[in-house]
Amino acid sequence: MSRAREFIDFWIENSVHAVEQYRTVGASQDVAELTGRLVAAAKEQGFSEADLQAEIGDISDYIGDRLKAANRAERERHRPP
């Protein structure tokens, strides 16, 4: 696994949260905002936007997919058995 991919995975785990966690820092549901945050954080760590795209393709699409998955998992968690 590349260092860029490790960074992306770490950032997603810590920054993309389901809507129910609204008060959690970074729990934005705005894909454009999250995309900007990821790109900015990556640059601080020495990764370019091109590095991110090489790992995950379109950054906004990837974040949108992760956000949908987090929201879906949260809904499933609250669904009665």
Mean pLDDT of the chain: 88
One-letter-per-residue 3-state SS of 24-79: CCCCCCCHHHHHHHHHHHHHHCCCCHHHHHHHHCCHHHHHHHHHHHHHHHHHHHHC
What whole-number distance in Å separates Cα of residue 14 and Cα of residue 24? Answer: 10
pTM above 0.85, yes or no: no
User: What digits encode the pLDDT tens for the residues 23-57?
Assistant: 555 466 899 999 999 999 999 999 999 999 999 99
Number of domains in the chain: 1
Kindly tell me if the per-residue pLDDT of 76 is higher than 90: no
Give residue 31's domain range. 3-78
Residue 23 has what pLDDT?
Answer: 59
19 Cβ neighbours under 8 A, 6+ residues apart: 27, 29, 71, 74
User: What digits encode the pLDDT tens for the residues 11-21?
Assistant: 999 999 887 65
What whole-number distance in Å separates Cα of residue 51 and Cα of residue 31? Answer: 19
What whole-number distance in Å separates Cα of residue 15 and Cα of residue 27? Answer: 7
